Amino acid sequence: MPTLTEDRLKFLQERANLTRQGIIRSLLSAGSGHSAGSLDMADVFVALYHHVLRHDPRNPTWEDRDRLLLSCGHIAPVRYSAMAYADYFPVEELLTLRKFGTRLQGHPERVRMEALETTSGPLGEGLAQGTGMALAAKMDKKGWRVYVVTSDAEHQCGLHMEAMMTAPKFGLDNLMCIVDRNFIQIDGSTEEIMPLEPLADKYRAFNWEVFECDGNDMAALIETIERAKETTGKPQVIIANTVPGKGVSFMEGDYTWHGKPPNKEQADTALRELEAQRERILSFHG
């Protein structure tokens, strides 16, 4: 993993900002899609694609690559935007989101883009799939790691809990689950609809190594991932506390943006805000 110098941090923060701008543009073009979760996970996906993962955009099926699974497939816009800015495909292709025949479907489809490890849609499946991949890597004595990004609300699905039991049984220390802890789902607060707390204690009870951090603080996020990777003998979970709609003032903390896109006026406002933030990032770091 590259050293996180001041220049490197500046690059990552700016790239997260550009990724958010790509999300807004793609959602506007599509006229449908999920805004809040996509925006709040931009820092996580930029950290993974630009700093953490062992991967090669020019050779996406490289055998020794790390595997990245997006379990909560509805926030595909953030993965697509991060991938575009990591040179997997042209940024302009983001405007084809959800169009007929596009590679950028509303949920990731493995058969349309070989850089995607799985097709995701039904919530709760990703950790089970990642557990299987991590076990296969152990059996084959491979050095690659598996990263699974999940939503908090999909912990309400039984299959996810079964995977939480299975991964520690096999000592899968090559498996890391990153939870988008934004406290929202389509109908409101997770803690009102189906409470998840104490979430960290539940993972500990299942024998996971548990870490928590601000998922919108790039430096804290990367430092946490680095510490988590040092774990031996058990899988790791990072509970990344995020602000839904991060970066767009009128979306932040509002669950109603879980499953809707901005209109033209809203998108223009969002892009102006984000560009102003980008200028501050560049000026702050000199």
Q: Does any domain span residue 152?
A: yes
Global pTM reads 0.96
Q: Does any domain span residue 156?
A: yes
Question: Are the C-beta atoms of 40 and 245 separated by less than 8 Å?
Answer: yes
Number of domains composing the chain: 1
Instruction: Print the domain residue range for 158.
Output: 6-284
Average pLDDT over residues 40-60: 98
Conformation bin of residue 253: beta by default, left when phi > 0, alpha when psi is -120 to 50: left
How far, in whole angstroms, is CA 274 from its chain's centroid?
19
CA distance 24 to 8: 25
User: What percent of the chain is modeled with pLDDT above 90?
Assistant: 96
Q: Does any domain span residue 88?
A: yes
CATH of the domain at 85: 3.40.50.970
pLDDT over 90 at 257, yes or no: yes
| Strands 146-151, 67-70: pairing kind | parallel
Q: Does any domain span residue 11?
A: yes
239: β partners? 179, 212
**pLDDT tens sequence across 152-210:** 999 999 999 999 999 999 999 999 999 999 999 999 999 999 999 999 999 999 999 99
Amino acid 199 reads: L
Q: What band does 284 get if pLDDT is binned at 50, 70 and 90? A: confident
Q: What band does 285 get if pLDDT is binned at 50, 70 and 90? A: low
State both tokens at 104: 């950028």
**pLDDT tens sequence across 34-47:** 999 999 999 999 99
What DSSP letter does each residue of 204-219 carry, written as one string? HHTT-EEEEEETT-HH
Q: Does any domain span residue 62?
A: yes
Upstream peptide bond of 168 is cis (omega within 30 degrees of 0): no
pLDDT over 90 at 273, yes or no: yes
CA distance 143 to 125: 24
Helices (H), 140-240: 158-169, 190-193, 199-205, 218-229
CA distances from 119 to 54, 126, 184, 229 (A): 21, 9, 23, 26
Average pLDDT over residues 57-86: 97
Q: Does any domain span residue 1?
A: no
